[in-house]
Amino acid sequence: MIKLENYAKKKLASIRRESLYRRLKTIATIKKMRIQIDGNRAINFCSNDYLGLSQNPAVLRAAKNKLYQVSQCSSRLISGNSPDIQMLEDILANHRKTECALVYSTGYMANLGVLTTMADKSSIIYSDEFNHSSIIDGCRLSGATVKIFSHNNVNDLHRLIDTDKNLNSIRKFIITEGIFSMNGNIANLSEICQLAKDANAITILDDAHGDFILGRSKSYSGTADLLRVSRLIDVNISSLSKAIGCFGGYIAASHYIRELLINKSRQLIYTSAIPAHLCRAAVASISMASTGVLQKKLRRNIEYFVNALRKLDLVTGNYSSPIIPILVGDEKTAVSISNSLLKKGIFIQAIRFPTVRKGRAQLRISLTAVHDREQLDFALSSLEIIGRKYKLF
């Protein structure tokens, strides 16, 4: 025990020296994006509750009305399949315009489930270098040969695929996020789907941060819908804990893919089922999201905030997503800026290695539909003051 504790102490000391130490902050929600963090009041700019539905009265009522049991306390294959899960899956399949959907306990498990079931040691996976850790772990656990292409670089992906053009007997997969979770940009899905078609590769899309946010149709079914390539995605993976403000993850695909996952995905077979009251909450939340009102509010907040940041030279380029990164670089400086903002009442996390590369630390701002103009202006003025202090512009 002493040896193990000494090991832990040494590792923690190393983490602290590199300004990579993390601790859990105690947060209590006051109302909407107003929170209390470690006893201090602040405005939350770290939540993925993009449409503000986690606190919606109708969503909360739906959960409470179904709360006759905390959990099934077992997996769906052992304790039985709840009709509430089936109802949610039917709604999600319709949302994605796919034959079927399958709900997982988390989005992380959904990514692991798809990749470890669909790919194996005789497969090749082409994965974007900025893909989420759940995708990285799924690729590793699958046993497949994994080839990383430069972030959102279609030419690099084409180069990698071209080197394997003679491997016709090997199953090939391309996986990318729709909106990337840390830098907020949108994948070049149209070009990626065309490359996949030409190479006879299977396309997997993790659209956790684009689902119910982006889209041409009234369903706001995500990045693929926005770019008109929905029919070219073989497996859709998403989350119920982002725009929908609930809990869980899901896949949307064909009937046979769903059946295979039910029979082979360890992440589904050996994990407790999502509780019925959370399914009902998600159903209510999807109904609220389908009106499009909240997406329009979110869009106005994004445009207003990004335009103001651009005037301060804190961001470059165009942002269509609620995720807005401010590059800092040095890890220690990023933590100091985050702490300084918190003292002013603004909660924005410093994102550091291993989430991003060393020396590429950033502030990750998450906007929601329920941030009001006063909160946005307060955050902007605080960023301007502290940004000048730390010479960010």
Residues of the chain with pLDDT under 50: none
| The pLDDT of residue 72 | 82
| The pLDDT of residue 1 | 64
pLDDT tens, residue by residue, 97-127: 999 999 999 999 999 999 999 999 999 999 9
**Dihedral sign (CA 312, 314, 320, 325):** negative
| The pLDDT of residue 40 | 87
CB 122 within 8 A of CB 265: no
- Name the residue ranges covered by the structural domains of the chain: 17-46+292-389, 57-289
CA distance 168 to 165: 7
* CATH number of the domain located at residue range(s) 17-46+292-389 in this protein: 3.90.1150.10
Q: Output b/e per residue, 66-77; b: 16+ Cβ within 10 A.
A: beeeeebeebbe
| The pLDDT of residue 29 | 83
| The pLDDT of residue 218 | 78
For the chain, state the CA radius of gyration: 21
The candidate with the shortest Cα–Cα distance to 112, out of 315, 285, 251, is: 251
Please name the fold of domain 57-289: Aspartate Aminotransferase; domain 2 (3.40.640)
CA distance 337 to 346: 11
The candidate with the shortest Cα–Cα distance to 92, out of 248, 276, 266, 320, is: 248
| The pLDDT of residue 315 | 78
| The pLDDT of residue 102 | 98
pTM of the model: 0.94
CB 243 within 8 A of CB 50: yes
The gap from C-alpha 280 to its chain's centroid, in whole angstroms, comes to: 22
Residue 75: CA count within 13 A, CB half-sphere: 12
